[in-house]
Amino acid sequence: MSAQREILLVSGPNLDLLGERDPRHYGTATLDEIVERTRRRAAAAGLAVRHVQSNAESVLIEAVHEARQTAAALIINAGALTHSSWALHDALEAFAGVKVEVHLSNPAAREGFRHVSTLAGVVNGTVAGFGPLGYDLAVDAVVALLGAPGMPAA
């Protein structure tokens, strides 16, 4: 897959439990359903999606490093690492493509520790609080930003 045609979708800790973990905040869709939805949306724009999910921070960092050579864009839901991982922040900072942070719930409407994102300063933008629809919005943002002047072409 050409770097110009791929989005890396990164799913952090505990997202493998979607569909069964706290549906009040995260809904009932499974991670597999969300990934498939994201793939369909991206395919409609001529982009492929490679997905990596891990509960280990180091695996996510390695995936971001590898994406520097393979992907034009990255969509990330880092889960709780959003609020604590400066290492993931640094890895994302080194990725030159489009980066969109996604959250199923609205962290600003939840516990105080969720109000800070260590990733916000190194991503193009954040989509939060729209459930699985947020992934559609993230793909749309990637497509728009890839076509914007000064951004890598799709």
Q: Is residue 64 part of a domain?
A: yes
Catalytic residue, from 26, 51, 89, 135: name it.
26
pLDDT at 106: 76
**Predicted pLDDT of residue 5:** 86
CA 81 to CA 141: how far, in whole Å? Answer: 22
**What is the total count of domains within the chain?**
1
Residue of 51, 89, 103, 135 marked catalytic: 103
pLDDT of residue 154: 37
31: tokens are 């991670």
Active site residue 26: yes
Output the pLDDT for position 111: 64
Position 151 scores a pLDDT of 47
Over residues 4-41, the pLDDT tens digits come to: 689 999 999 999 998 887 767 666 789 999 999 999 99
Report yes or no on 14 lying in a domain. Answer: yes
153 occurs within a structural domain: no
Other CB atoms within 10 A of residue 127 CB: 21
Which stretches in the chain have pLDDT values below 50? 1-3, 151-154
Residue 151 lies inside a defined structural domain of this protein: no
Tell which residue, 116, 124, 109, 30, has the closest CA to residue 75: 124
CATH of the domain at 91: 3.40.50.9100
Inside any domain, residue 121: yes
* Assigned domain for 152 exists: no
- Domain extent at residue 81: 3-146
Residue 154 within any structural domain of the chain:
no
Say what the pTM is: 0.87
Nearest-10 crossing angle of helices 86-93, 57-70: 0
